[in-house]
Amino acid sequence: MVDARAEEKETKAANSRRTWIYYVKDESGRRKRNELEDYADVFDFRFERR
């Protein structure tokens, strides 16, 4: 089931480039979309919020 609010947030984020979406492999090896800000401790990233 899709969370409409999450989808809306993702769309707005993509348009404003405020959130970066990354594809990461989960335990089963499938690709899974995750927002960078939710995995700040996993990625070494540098970007400015505008």
Give burial (CB, 10 Å; 0-12/13-18/19+) of 26: exposed
Q: Over the stretch 28-43, which tens digit does the pLDDT of each residue have? A: 656 555 555 555 444 4
Q: pTM of the predicted model, to two decimals?
A: 0.16
Distance CA 5, CA 28 (A): 26
pLDDT of residue 41: 47
Q: What are phi and psi of 44, to 5 degrees?
A: -90, 100
For 47, the token pair is: 């970007």
For 21-30, how does the pLDDT look when each residue is reduced to its tens digit (9 = 90+)?
555 555 665 6
**DSSP SS3 for 5:** helix
